[in-house]
Structure 1
């Protein structure tokens, strides 16, 4: 396990924050859709797509950093 405050540890925490934000935004999207705010729900879904795509890139980068041991 990397030392606290190492680059891999920091990036892992950023990735975890990204996932938590995605979950929170998804809840807001469901609420907005339920309340009839379809336009808001559409905008949120667009943001969620971007978050999902970026999360994939972050996860791949983390895997490479951990595999090579680069910091």
Structure 2
């Protein structure tokens, strides 16, 4: 069984990859939001902005967790 430090590193590495995926998805949503806004899809654009806010908020929490794991 791996020691706690090895588990923390593996968990932090996995969370880092998920965080990178989150950033990529946020960038894609941002592009779609821009297009929607320019083409009259205001309600959909507003919903997309809400999704991006959730992604940003969760990204901050994931980053904090990664930092705590890497410090242990």
Fold match, TM over 0.5?
yes
Give the length in aligned residue pairs: 65
TM-score for both structures, normalised by structure 2: 0.84
Consecutive unaligned residues of structure 1, counting only runs of 5 or more, are none
TM-score for both structures, normalised by structure 1: 0.85
**Which has a greater percent of helix?**
2
Q: Which residue number corresponds to residue 18 of structure 2? A: 14
Q: Which residue number corresponds to residue 45 of structure 1? A: 49
User: RCO higher in 1 or 2 (8 Å CA, sep ≥ 6)?
Assistant: 2
The RMSD of aligned alpha carbons is 1.5
Is 1:64–2:72 an aligned residue pair? no
Give the distance between the partners of 2:10 and 2:57, measured in 1 at CA: 25
Consecutive unaligned residues of structure 2, counting only runs of 5 or more, are 1-5
Following superposition, the deviation at residue 9 of structure 1 comes to 1.1
Give the distance between the partners of 1:44 and 1:30, measured in 2 at CA: 10
